[in-house]
Every structure is written in structure tokens, then in C-alpha cells.
Amino acid sequence: MTDRTADSVGTPESVDAILDSLDTDSLAGYNYAYLDEHTKREVRRSILSAIALPGHQVPFASRAMPLARGWGTGGMQASLSLLGPQDTFKVIDQGSDESVNAANIRRLAAKTTDIETTTDATAASIIQSRHRIPEAVLDEDQILVLQVPVTDALRRVDGSDDANRRRHAHRNYSKMWVALYENVVEYGEIKLSSRYPVMVAGRYLMDPSPIPRWDVPKLDDADNLFVFAAGREARIYAVPPHTDVEPLAFEDREFQVERFPGQACRRCGSTDTFLIEVETDDGERQYACNDTSFCQKRSASPALSKAHHREGDDHAWGPPTDPSISVPERSASPAGATADDAETSREEGDRR
């Protein structure tokens, strides 16, 4: 690769030549999954430590990646260390598979490994994500790798990592609680838009990365493994399957997810998914699903449940829609799966 670049750089027409070669070249000279084997092993060891201590931040030797730190290098290193030839990989950025960052990360993985890529959250074995947990229920064969910009929930209240590590060591989280108290004083409820602090297995306070509050309940007692990786801060932490994850809240000021009163996705009509607000040029506000791949599935079959690919349908996953607005039929009777659902579920099972 270096030879070719050296030859072709310098002449104006070489740009086309480089682009052509990118399509055809296997990335000769690169190790499988870009990183060298020692690095991958080191990352996997850190992940194992993180799984052994749910919610605890484990240091790892974050390598330079072909991407600036803060753009998902931690997630990439975790994903690339985990990806084997049998895996199917999905990358999401803010709910979308098609954003530049997600597409580039997916392409790098596809180029340097033998994996399949997908945009279907139920078909992927490893999903790397930024800012969202997919709407579709994840299962025990899947790993969700989340990119983390800020590793420590306590940094909200104290900038000193030294003091914060001490607080973690002694489970002294009163300062975080005061911040929540003051939040309620100011707003009447806890208003943290993202990075909602959670207690993992009753021991460590964890920053769940900038997922919306909507996604926080999905961490609790999930079937899948969550790996949180921060490249810039060189830390990895994890929530293993079936771990208690409890958002901090007061007895009389409970944790609440975002509310979209009376709103449904403009495209697929969903009322039980996380919606984003879009303002059009003429000032009109519209709502749309944030998870584009799930939105696409819903558009095709509006009655699709979030757990459509699962045996049985009684999976508590994610927040219910706000009870003050009309409860949509599908989440009102989670056990009553339609024939369609069962059909889809079998198909998915076969495909995997």
C-alpha cells in the first residue's frame, strides 16, 4: 500500500487511480481487523476485567486510530478486538446507520476483516453505537459497544478524577445526589437530557454514555452485553447481561424518560419509540423515529413489536410510552403477539 501511494502521488490523475485501487485492494499489509494481535488481546483483557467488575472503569492502552480521538476510537478498538470472521457488524451514529461517521467505521471494519455488515439490529452480532441503544430488543448473542466521550458520571459535579476515583472506591456518591437535588429544586423534576447517572449492580455509579433517558431502562437486566469504550480517556467499562442498572432518583421524584405527548413518528406512525423533533423550513415541527433502521421496519409492517424476532413477546425492554397519552395497542398487550410477529420472528431466526 505504501509503495502504491508513493508511486501515484504527485500526478493530478493519480486521484482516480487511488480511488480505483481502494475499491479493488484488499488492505494488504494490515492485520486482520486493523489492530495488531497484541493490542486486540489487551483490549479483550480489559473488557473481561470490565465484565468482572460491572460499571467499574478499567484502563486500556488506547491506540491511535485512523480517526481523531473523540470520534469513536474507543468503540472502534473494542469492536475490532471482538469481531471474528463469523460476526455481523452494525454501526449506528445518533440512531442512523448512514451518517458519515457510522458508514466510515463500518467500512473500515468490513475492509480489514471478513465480517458481514448489516443495518438490521436483530441481524447483527456486534453493534457499535453512539448516543443510542437500538429500539429492537437485543438478545444474549449480541454485544452492544457504546462510544463514550466522558467516562465518569461524577465529573458533572467534580472535575478532579483523583477525587472521583476515591469516591468510587468508597461508593461515596453524595455529591452526585446533591446535584440531582438541586436539579429538582430548579426544575421540579430531574432534568438531565443525557448521560443519566446509574448505579450498576448496587456498587458503581456509571455514566451510560450520552444515550437519552429513553434508553437507560434498556440497560437493566438486559440479555445482551454492553461494552462502553472511551478512546480519548483510555477506559473501558461494561454492563454484563442480567445486571441491575438503576438510575439515580428520589422516592418521590422518580426517574422519567422523555415524553412526546400526542406525537407519533411522521414516517412510520410509531408512538413507542424515541422521537426526534425536526423543524422544517416553514417553521413546522415534525417528529420522526431516531432509530432509522427500526423505523424502516415499522413502515413496512406497522404492528411490528420491538421484540418481534424473539421467541415469545413478553420482553420488558425500554421505556413504555408515557401513560398520560393513549397507550398504543402493541405495547398494551405485549403477550398477544400477532401472527405476523410470529412469522417475522421465525424468519429472523432462520436467517441468523
Partner 1 sequence: MTVLEASNLTKIYGEPCGECVEHTGPAVGDNQCPVCESVVACAAVDFELYDGEVLGIVGESGSGKSSLAELLALDSEATAGRVDDDAHDGNLLDADYQDRHELQNHHIGMVHQHVRDGLELDFSGGGNIAEKLLAAGWRGYGDIRSRVRELFEATEIPVSRMDDPTATYSGGMQRRVQIAKAIANDPELVILDEPTTGLDVSVQARVLDMFRRIQREQDVATIVVSHDLDVIRLLADRTLVMRHGRIIESGLTDRIMEDPHHEYTQTLINSVI
Q: Of 183 and 338, which has the nearer Cβ to partner 1?
A: 183
Applying CB under 8 A, does 160 fall inside the site for partner 1? no
Applying CB under 8 A, does 250 fall inside the site for partner 1? yes
- The C-alpha atoms of residue 335 and residue 4 are separated, in whole angstroms, by 59
Applying CB under 8 A, does 253 fall inside the site for partner 1? yes
Applying CB under 8 A, does 178 fall inside the site for partner 1? yes
Partners of 351 in beta bridges: none
Could you tell me how many residues of this chain bind partner 1 (CB under 8 A)?
16
- The C-alpha atoms of residue 300 and residue 280 are separated, in whole angstroms, by 25
Applying CB under 8 A, does 182 fall inside the site for partner 1? yes
Applying CB under 8 A, does 181 fall inside the site for partner 1? yes
- The C-alpha atoms of residue 181 and residue 203 are separated, in whole angstroms, by 21
- The C-alpha atoms of residue 22 and residue 196 are separated, in whole angstroms, by 42
Shortest CB 244 distance to partner 1, Å: 16
Q: Of 184 and 276, which has the nearer Cβ to partner 1?
A: 184
Applying CB under 8 A, does 256 fall inside the site for partner 1? no
User: Which listed residue (11, 170, 193, 281) binds partner 1 by CB under 8 A?
Assistant: 170
Per CB under 8 A, which region of 46-54, 165-173, 229-237, 329-337 contacts partner 1? 165-173
Q: Of 167 and 306, which has the nearer Cβ to partner 1?
A: 167
Shortest CB 208 distance to partner 1, Å: 20
Are 77 and 231 within 8 A, CB to CB? yes
User: Which listed residue (177, 258, 286, 348) binds partner 1 by CB under 8 A?
Assistant: 177
Cell numbers placing 28:
494488504
Q: Of 29 and 188, which has the nearer Cβ to partner 1?
A: 188
SS3 307: coil
Applying CB under 8 A, does 174 fall inside the site for partner 1? yes
Are 280 and 110 within 8 A, CB to CB? no
Are 209 and 228 within 8 A, CB to CB? yes
Applying CB under 8 A, does 23 fall inside the site for partner 1? no
Going 113 to 118 to 123 to 126, the CA torsion angle's sign is positive
Q: Of 6 and 185, which has the nearer Cβ to partner 1?
A: 185
Are 216 and 196 within 8 A, CB to CB? yes
Per CB under 8 A, which region of 20-28, 66-74, 146-154, 178-186 contacts partner 1? 178-186
Q: Which residues contact 196 (CB under 8 A, 6 or more apart)?
A: 208, 213, 216, 247, 248, 255
- Which of 74, 122, 113 has its CA nearest to residue 227? 74
State the helix-helix crossing angle for 100-112 and 73-82, rounded to 10 degrees: 30
Applying CB under 8 A, does 292 fall inside the site for partner 1? no
3-state secondary structure 68-98: CCCCCHHHHHHHHHHCCCCCEEEEEECCECC
Shortest CB 245 distance to partner 1, Å: 17
- The C-alpha atoms of residue 223 and residue 92 are separated, in whole angstroms, by 20
Per CB under 8 A, which region of 26-34, 105-113, 248-256, 267-275 contacts partner 1? 248-256
Residues annotated as catalytic (active site), given as ranges:
55, 265, 268, 289, 295
User: Which listed residue (103, 184, 327, 342) binds partner 1 by CB under 8 A?
Assistant: 184
Per CB under 8 A, which region of 15-23, 120-128, 250-258, 313-321 contacts partner 1? 250-258
Per CB under 8 A, which region of 75-83, 85-93, 181-189, 323-331 contacts partner 1? 181-189
- The C-alpha atoms of residue 84 and residue 122 are separated, in whole angstroms, by 18
List contacts with partner 1 (CB under 8 A). 166, 170, 172, 174-175, 177-178, 181-182, 184-186, 250-253
